[in-house]
Structures are given as structure tokens and as C-alpha cells.
Chain A
Amino acid sequence: MPASVKITADVIKAHGFKGDEYPRLLEILGRTPSMTELGIFSVMWSEHCSYKSSRFWLKTLPTTGTCVIQGPGENAGVIDIGDGDACIFKMESHNHPSYIEPYQGAATGVGGIMRDVFTMGARPVANLNALRFGAPDHPKTKHLVAGVVAGIGHYGNATGVPTVGGETNFDKAYNNNILVNAMCIGLAKTDKIFYSAAKGVGLPVVYVGSKTGRDGIHGATMASAEFDEKSAEKRPTVQVGDPFTEKLLIEACLELMASDVIIAIQDMGAAGLTSSTSEMADKGGVGIELNLDLVPQREPHMTAYEMMLSESQERMLMILKPGSEPQAEAIFKKWELDFAVIGHTTDTGRMIVKHKGQIEADLPVDKLANSAPQYQRPWVATPPAARILPEWVKAPASNLGALKTMMGQPQLASRRWIWEQYDSMVRGDTLQRPGGDAAVVRVHGTMKAIAACCDVTPRYVLADPVMGTKQAVVETWRNLICVGANPLAITDNMNFANPERPEIMGQFVGSVQGMGEACRALDFPVVSGNVSLYNETNGVGIPPTPAIGGVGLIPDYSKSATIALTAAGELLILIGREEGHLGQSLYQLIIADKAEGAPPPVDLNDEIKAGNLVRALIREERVSAVHDCSDGGLLVAIAEMALAGGIGVELYPYEGKLPAHAAWFGEDQGRYVVAAKPGVAEQIAERARLLGLPARIIGKSGGNGLTLKGEAALSLAVLRAVHEAWLPGLMGA
């Protein structure tokens, strides 16, 4: 776009400025912006970069704690995991691009989040992802699943970072707005963490990585708008990834980071050169001057506007100690990457962009980084949903028959077709692969391990944003407990529809409130995160989907647990309160074909009691298998443990006060199933009761199927066939 383009009302609108935002820009500048300046402000003020609808509420979340080294505000969150080791992680969405171009959209989502992590000095050691697709029978679903999974897989596989876990939902509410949330975890030393503040004047600004092209221009603006019929035309704004270059960039950056020449470093993600330069300069309290003639360019005749807004992938910006350029350049040349000094820091407080002898932008850095509008958008709370009593939901002809049906449905069927496309084993530290409650990755050369998982149940959050998000946090926490970890901190990925609608903003506000309550009670702070709004097409939005990525530490991985039953003749104990809550349950959804009522309530005190007990049992090596009860309830949890271990279970008939199907399929929270030897099992139940937690022995391991008195037995072979068949069937193997 030539600099001579006139700034008309249409041009302003096309740049996403709304309401009084453009007049506000005029007031800040005291003059009409140049085209390049308009573009720069449009991306910095986009929802994606400025968090203008969400920041007010996000500030209410707990972000500090004993383990927190760096909370939100840097490229990623940093926590202390002892012995001088730090764990650096974040989750980020790539929803809009993945719908338009699934392979590249998902691949560059993975690439972007990995750069956020290694830019802080960490080697990426694990990737996870949380995916939401539309109805299985929607004409685009198969194409989107195939593309997204291949894109995630190829990027992680080729960079040599294991993809170890995640979750996938199918729901018609995502038909026109899929969600692709990628999480990366890295490890560093606490005394070798790199930040983005460009402190110091006269320092070289260095560009490394790939050349700049015209791809992804205005990607951040696209990600801040709803979709309509013409969205496919936005394909050119989707970036193209090159995991080979990313792999070289990781190695080159980590090699340079082993020295002490880097003052600040940041990746060029959303809004590319614009956001990296302005944020680094602002944090360092300096000005910055760039000469775009020196930027490595992939194609000729690029304008300043295009270069400042390009979202070409695999690029980083560094501020180096003066004189260290040759040393740094040698490393990047060895890895066959571009290296260019493109400017320097100044004491003027201004960002000056020169191109072909012209000044294309001359802007105040602090205003650029900090003057985005902040909205307290009007909101209305989601009306409370009624509690559904267990007896209101009809009983099945057979509980095991209902289980068999449920285990073959899109909500519960095996995700093996997805995760077998991910290299989960590279680097030789993956102690628990996908398929369990949480992935476990060893801290190389130690007995410590990181546990990680992603969780949210959108139908709960839709029914009650406060309780549903509380549930998402506790489920994440429970999944970390299940493998024997101390849950430490979370990253959140807030996926919502259009916040300009008060009921959607109300979902967001409720969700933040529920998250805050749970995180405070569990001492489980939020250290990083990402907000994706406007997940909406023609006025129809997604269900609120606050994906929670949790990280925990296992101090000694020889004392951890998996969901797999390991021996016959052991007793299964259910720990936790049984209320038979069927509102919003999968039983209600699949067997009764309804999604009604309030989600299961969360009692944070009971969660803590049950979690601490289960973790103690794992550390004392009293239990041989552990699984929490979540989607599908108790019977599904038992079935998953049986399938994972290849050992059946004789189920003891339910003799309590609830309807039996509510006991087997209720989704009451704060519950675990553990397996232990006879004798030990009774002691475990007694310990739970002493803590005020109900516990009962629910069955005995053994045999080659699930049996329940009065019902036809369900063999593991049949159950496995049903469970494994659905997704390959959908995808055509």
C-alpha cells in the first residue's frame, strides 16, 4: 500500500478502528498519521494485541505465588521448580487462521508459542494442544481435523519437540469457528532467563531468522474480528510456517544465550516488527530507530507499511551488547539464518522508522505501547441454570449397555488417531504419553518430572460461566494430582464470542471470576495466557471456552501413577462425594439426548482434601492406578482404567440412595478412583472418611471385561473396538 494513499473513512474502518478510536489517535499524534503509522496503530490497538476488552477483568486474577518468577506481561510465564531449574510455559490460540487454512494456521500456532517460550531462554520440551471442532457430520469438519492435526504434528515433529498431550471436542457450536489452542513448555535455569526490556541507549537492534515477506499482514486485526461469508477471502492473511527454520532458530538462539551478550530478546509474533520493537523499547524506557532498508526481505518492492505489519514466521528481534555483533552473527550464519543490524536504541522516546531515505513513522513509544483504549464493556450475568435432580433423567435398560454406547460417541471415543500423528517420544524424556490424565516429561538427567494437561468442559461453562470455569481449573489440578504431581501454576486461553454483546461479556466476566476463586483457593496462580474474542460467524458465537493449561512438578518420578490397572485381584476405591449430578452430564447428552440444567457444583475445600490424600497415597506407593472422575462419571473412569491396563473389573452393585444410573454416570466433582491391594484398600477408605470424605469400594480388578450383577457382561475387546473405531471411521482410517 503506497504511502500516498489517502486516509479516508473507509481506510480507517478497514483498519478496524471503531467508535472514537480514530479521533483518539489524532489527539495522541496531534496530526494526521501516515499510512504506515495508521497500520502500526491499528495492530497495536487490535483486540489481539491490546486486550482492550479483557484487561480490566484479567487484572483481578491471582498471578503471584511462591513458585512464580514471572507472571503475565512477558512472552511467557516462568515458575521455579527447584534446584535452579525454571519451567517456562504459555498457551495461545490460533483459531481464526486455523479455520481459514487449517494446516498452516495450526502449524504457525505451534511455532508462535514455541518462540514465546525459547525467547525467554528455555529449551522447549513439550507441546500440548486443546482443539474444538464442529459436529462430526458437518461438511468441513473432516477437512479441518485432518489439516489441523497434520499441521500441529508436522511443526512439533520437525522441530524435535514432543507433543505429549491435549484434548479434543466435537460440537456443532464450533461448526464455523474452530478453536486451536497450542501450549508449549520449556526448561531453563533460573539464572539464565531472558526478558524483553531494551534497557540502554545506542544498542544495536538485531533481526534474526527468516526473511520478511508479505504474509500475515493484518493477521492480528483479522483475529480481532468476527467471520462472515467472505472470510475465506482472508486466506492471504494466514502466515506460512517453516519448522525447519524454527528448529535452526531454537538451536542458534540457545547457543547465543549460553553467552552473556543478549540484553533483550523477543519473537516477532502478532503484529511482527511493530509490536516487538515498540514493546521492547517501551519496557526498556528508550526510543528506537529502525532502517527498513536493512531488513532481510523475501520479495522486492515491499513498502514500510508491509514490513512493519508482516507476520512472516520464524523471526526474532534482539538487543545486543555493543561490539558483540560479530560473535552473534557467526552463530546465526553457522545455522544458515539471516542476521542483520536494523537499527539502534535512542534516548528520544520515539519510534522512528526510515525507509529509502524517508521517515515513514515517527511515534511516541510510550503512547504506542500503552495508549490503546481500555473498555469496561457492558455485561449481563448468565442467568442461573436450574439443578436437575437425578430421578428426572431416565434410567438406561442396562448400565453397561449405556457405557458401551457412550464410549463410542464423539465426546468419549479414543483420540488415538490424533495423537499417533504426533512424535511424543523425541528427546527420550516422555514418561507418560497421551491417553492418561496428564502427560509426564522428565527434567533430563534428574528424577524430577513436569506434569501437564489441558482442560475445560465448555458445556459446563455455557450453563454457568462461574462454576464451569471453576470446574475447569479444578479438573486441571486433579489431573496433575492423578499422576502424583504438585500442581504449580496455569496458563489460560480465553476463547469467547463477540464481547460487544453484553451476554458474551457476561460469560467472560463470570469465567474470570470462577477462575480467580479456584486459583486462589488452590494456590494455583495464572502465569501467562491469551485471549481470543470474536469467535463468531454471522452473529452466532462459540460456547465460552476458557481452556486451562496446568503444570505441576513430580519431585521423584519413581513415585508417580498412571490410569492403567496393573494387576488382577486389587480393589477399586471411589474417593469423594456422590450426589448423582446428571445436569450437563454426558449421560444426559448422549443417552437422554438433552443438555440441561446446572453443571456439577465444585467444593474447593473437598477438592483440596481429596487431592492431598490421593497424592499422599501415590507418594507412599499404596495405590497402583489412579484416575479422576470427569466426563461420563464413575463408570467411564473405571472403563478407561480397565482399557488402559487390559484388565477387567467386577463391579459391585450400587446399593446407596441414588438411582443407580446417577451413581454410575453422575459427574460429581472432587472424585478419584484408585486401585490398591485388599487390606490396603480398606485402610485407604478409612483415611478418607477420617478427612470427612466419603469413600467406598466399588469393584475388584480381574477378568477380561466389565461385569455387573444382573447385566450382560461387557468384554474389553468389544469395548475397545467401539472406543477405538469412531475417529478412524470418521476420518476414513
Chain B
Amino acid sequence: MRACVIVFPGTNRERDIAEAIEGVSGQPSRMIWHGDTEVPKCDLIVLPGGFSYGDYLRTGAMAAHSPIMRDVVAKAKAGTPVLGVCNGFQTLCEAGLLPGILLRNASLKFVCKDVHLRVDNAATLYTNRYRTGDVAQVIVAHGDGNYFADAAALDELEAENRVVFRYATPAGEVTQAANPNGSQRNIAGIIDKRGRILGMMPHPENACETTLGSTQGRPLFESIVAGMAAA
């Protein structure tokens, strides 16, 4: 699987996610500078975590208008899978590729800690190696991860089974206490209507090694490789 990882000024988890992908696919990712205007032909585009443009204006807002994003949007619309993690999720929302927006955490503080994600839809390109109802321990590290959309949009996401991950307890119960940022309906990750574009706040790329505390993010990358092979 050939992946391209987009690097904006202020991106900081590009290496983490490139190595997580390489760990399952065996292939290094290409780093693509935001100032470029074309993403080389690839199987997956990744918008990684970080503080693109220092989070100035709004998180992801300036990155969404970077030169490279015109081609990312075009390729996404043409069907190239796009994975946005953390700042990448924020950018996907700002670019209009996913509905809703990420607000300041309800605590008004940055939060970095272990959370548990319940997989609510294991039938996607990104989750086929999980089972629906599985719980994965991963970390979050963000100041603006409070997912917000209006009730109609949330109902539509749920009706179309497009909420892929929710914050939950280790036993898989979706509770307020398990929600690290105040997200509506504990939403941690959503997918677009065609099932090609995934945005999520937690960092599966930091949960691929026992020595880092969890390997439960790894199936996400295995899913992509398996999904590509099946396609």
C-alpha cells in the first residue's frame, strides 16, 4: 500500500503515523509538503496530527486552504481514501469533506491520556479487522476535540452507521465519564457517506507497540491494508 502523508507547517505526528503504516504494510510513506499542488498517485492520503499553522484562526482552518488541499479534495472526491487523525480530522471538517466541527474541549484544557474507543461500525475500510463492539485502548492528545454537529446531522450520521468510534469505558459502555472532551454523543471518529474518508481525534498510530502501552490501534492500519488487498 502506498501512502502519502501531507506535512503542513506545524504538523508533528507525521513520523508516528508513517511508521505505524509501514509497520503493517512494509512500505514507507511519502511525505508531501503542503506547498506542493499535486499529491502523487497513491492508495491512501493521510492528514496527520499536529498544530498546522499553530492552530491560529481555528484548528485546521488554515491548513484546509493550503495549496495541496485542492488536490487532496479532488482526489478524495474521485475516491482516494483519506485518513485524518486529530489535526487531520479538524482539517477534513474545515475542508468540508466531513460534516461537523471540532470545538475547544469542554474542560477548556488540552488533554493527553489513555481512552477507550468502542468500534461501532466494523464494516469499513478502516475497521474491518475489528469486530463491532470491540473496545480499543488508544491515547488522545488534543485541545480541540469536542465534536459538534447539529442534531439533524448527528441523527443522519447515526442512521447511516457513520459513527465509527465512540469514547467508552473499558467495558464498552458509552458514558459521560468516558468522554474526554465533551463530544456530542461521545463521537470519536466518523466516516463519509461513501466510506472512504475517516476522521478521528484519538491516535491509533501511538497504539501499535506493546512497549508504548497498547497495540489496539494497529488493527486500524491492518484493516486498510486488508481492505486495499480485497478491493
Interface membership of A170, Cβ < 8 A: no
Determine if A157 and B110 form an interchain contact, defined as CB atoms under 8 angstroms apart. Answer: yes
Determine if B13 and A160 form an interchain contact, defined as CB atoms under 8 angstroms apart. Answer: yes
Interface membership of A336, Cβ < 8 A: yes
Q: Quick check: which of B38-46, B118-126, B203-211 contacts chain A, the rest being far away?
A: B203-211
Determine if A247 and B12 form an interchain contact, defined as CB atoms under 8 angstroms apart. Answer: yes
Residues of B9-26 at the interface with A, using a CB-CB cut-off of 8 Å, are 9-10, 12-13, 15-16, 19-20
Q: Which 8 A-B pairs have the closest CB atoms?
A: A160-B12, A244-B54, A158-B51, A428-B16, A423-B141, A423-B112, A421-B110, A425-B206
By beta carbon, the residue of chain A nearest B180 is A420
* Bound form: Cα–Cα A158–B8 in Å: 13
Chain B 50-91, CB within 8 Å of chain A: the 1/0 string? 110111100000000000000000000000000000000000
Interface membership of B107, Cβ < 8 A: yes
* Bound form: Cα–Cα A336–B35 in Å: 11
12 A-B residue contacts at CB 8 Å? A157-B112, A160-B50, A247-B51, A420-B111, A421-B109, A421-B111, A421-B112, A422-B112, A425-B203, A428-B19, A428-B205, A430-B212
B125, chain A: closest CB distance, angstroms? 23
Interface membership of B113, Cβ < 8 A: yes
* Bound form: Cα–Cα A430–B113 in Å: 13
Q: Identify the interface centre among B12, B49, B112, B113: most chain A CB within 10 Å of its CB.
A: B112
Known: A420-B112, A430-B212, A431-B212. A248 touches B9 (CB 8 A): yes
Contact among B15, B109, B212 with A150 in the assembled complex (CB-CB below 8 Å):
B109
A89, chain B: closest CB distance, angstroms? 20
* Bound form: Cα–Cα A336–B66 in Å: 14
Contact among B12, B19, B55 with A426 in the assembled complex (CB-CB below 8 Å):
B12
B40, chain A: closest CB distance, angstroms? 19
B136, chain A: closest CB distance, angstroms? 15
* Bound form: Cα–Cα A421–B181 in Å: 12
Known: A159-B12, A160-B12, A247-B10. A425 touches B51 (CB 8 A): no
Interface membership of B139, Cβ < 8 A: yes
Known: A158-B55, A243-B51, A428-B206. A335 touches B110 (CB 8 A): no
Residues of chain B lying within 8 A (CB to CB) of residue A558: 211
Residues of chain B lying within 8 A (CB to CB) of residue A154: 110, 143
Residues of chain B lying within 8 A (CB to CB) of residue A160: 12-13, 50-51
Determine if A244 and B141 form an interchain contact, defined as CB atoms under 8 angstroms apart. Answer: no
Which DSSP category, helix, strand, loop or mixed, fits chain B's interface?
A: mixed
* Bound form: Cα–Cα A244–B206 in Å: 23
By beta carbon, the residue of chain B nearest A248 is B9
* Bound form: Cα–Cα A405–B205 in Å: 40
Contact among B15, B56, B143 with A244 in the assembled complex (CB-CB below 8 Å):
B56
Residues of chain B lying within 8 A (CB to CB) of residue A334: 35
Known: A243-B51, A425-B203, A427-B16. A336 touches B112 (CB 8 A): no
Contact among A158, A420, A423 with B10 in the assembled complex (CB-CB below 8 Å):
A158
B7, chain A: closest CB distance, angstroms? 9
Interface membership of A682, Cβ < 8 A: no
Residues of chain A lying within 8 A (CB to CB) of residue B211: 431, 442, 557-558
Query: Could you tell me which B residues sit within 8 Å of A by CB distance?
Result: 9-10, 12-13, 15-16, 19-20, 35, 49-51, 53-56, 107, 109-113, 139, 141, 143, 203, 205-206, 209, 211-213
Q: A424-B112, A428-B19 are in contact. List 14 more A-B contacts (CB 8 A).
A: A154-B110, A154-B143, A157-B112, A159-B12, A243-B51, A244-B55, A420-B112, A421-B112, A423-B141, A425-B139, A425-B141, A426-B16, A426-B141, A426-B206
Residues of chain B lying within 8 A (CB to CB) of residue A420: 111-113
Q: Identify the interface centre among A160, A248, A421: most chain B CB within 10 Å of its CB.
A: A160
Residues of chain B lying within 8 A (CB to CB) of residue A153: 110
Interface membership of A242, Cβ < 8 A: yes
Residues of chain A lying within 8 A (CB to CB) of residue B112: 157, 420-425
* Bound form: Cα–Cα A336–B9 in Å: 9
Interface membership of A397, Cβ < 8 A: no
Interface membership of A733, Cβ < 8 A: yes
Instruction: Count A-B contacts at CB 8 Å.
Output: 86
Residues of A408-440 at the interface with B, using a CB-CB cut-off of 8 Å, are 420-428, 430-431, 433
B55, chain A: closest CB distance, angstroms? 7
Residues of chain A lying within 8 A (CB to CB) of residue B49: 426
B173, chain A: closest CB distance, angstroms? 18
* Bound form: Cα–Cα A244–B52 in Å: 8
A596, chain B: closest CB distance, angstroms? 39
Residues of chain B lying within 8 A (CB to CB) of residue A245: 54
By beta carbon, the residue of chain B nearest A416 is B113
Contact among A426, A430, A733 with B13 in the assembled complex (CB-CB below 8 Å):
A426
Determine if B53 and A244 form an interchain contact, defined as CB atoms under 8 angstroms apart. Answer: yes
Residues of chain A lying within 8 A (CB to CB) of residue B107: 733
A59, chain B: closest CB distance, angstroms? 40
* Bound form: Cα–Cα A339–B229 in Å: 48
B11, chain A: closest CB distance, angstroms? 8
A335, chain B: closest CB distance, angstroms? 7
* Bound form: Cα–Cα A557–B15 in Å: 21
* Bound form: Cα–Cα A682–B211 in Å: 30
Residues of chain A lying within 8 A (CB to CB) of residue B110: 150, 153-154, 157, 421-423
By beta carbon, the residue of chain B nearest A251 is B9
* Bound form: Cα–Cα A602–B85 in Å: 50
* Bound form: Cα–Cα A425–B139 in Å: 8
Residues of chain A lying within 8 A (CB to CB) of residue B12: 158-160, 247, 426-427
Residues of chain B lying within 8 A (CB to CB) of residue A248: 9-10
B18, chain A: closest CB distance, angstroms? 10
By beta carbon, the residue of chain B nearest A430 is B212
Chain A 170-210, CB within 8 Å of chain B: the 1/0 string? 00000000000000000000000000000000000000000
Known: A158-B55, A430-B212. A244 touches B139 (CB 8 A): no
Residues of chain A lying within 8 A (CB to CB) of residue B209: 428
Residues of chain B lying within 8 A (CB to CB) of residue A150: 109-110
A154, chain B: closest CB distance, angstroms? 7
Residues of chain A lying within 8 A (CB to CB) of residue B15: 427-428
* Bound form: Cα–Cα A420–B113 in Å: 6
Residues of A312-355 at the interface with B, using a CB-CB cut-off of 8 Å, are 334-336
Residues of A241-287 at the interface with B, using a CB-CB cut-off of 8 Å, are 242-245, 247-248
Residues of chain B lying within 8 A (CB to CB) of residue A427: 12-13, 15-16
B60, chain A: closest CB distance, angstroms? 14
* Bound form: Cα–Cα A442–B109 in Å: 28
A397, chain B: closest CB distance, angstroms? 35
Determine if B111 and A244 form an interchain contact, defined as CB atoms under 8 angstroms apart. Answer: no
* Bound form: Cα–Cα A177–B50 in Å: 34
* Bound form: Cα–Cα A433–B139 in Å: 12
B213, chain A: closest CB distance, angstroms? 8
Contact among B35, B56, B109, B212 with A425 in the assembled complex (CB-CB below 8 Å):
B212
Residues of chain A lying within 8 A (CB to CB) of residue B55: 158, 244
Chain A 61-92, CB within 8 Å of chain B: the 1/0 string? 00000000000000000000000000000000
By beta carbon, the residue of chain B nearest A440 is B211
Residues of A199-253 at the interface with B, using a CB-CB cut-off of 8 Å, are 242-245, 247-248
Known: A160-B50, A421-B112. A428 touches B9 (CB 8 A): no
* Bound form: Cα–Cα A486–B143 in Å: 36
Residues of A680-733 at the interface with B, using a CB-CB cut-off of 8 Å, are 733
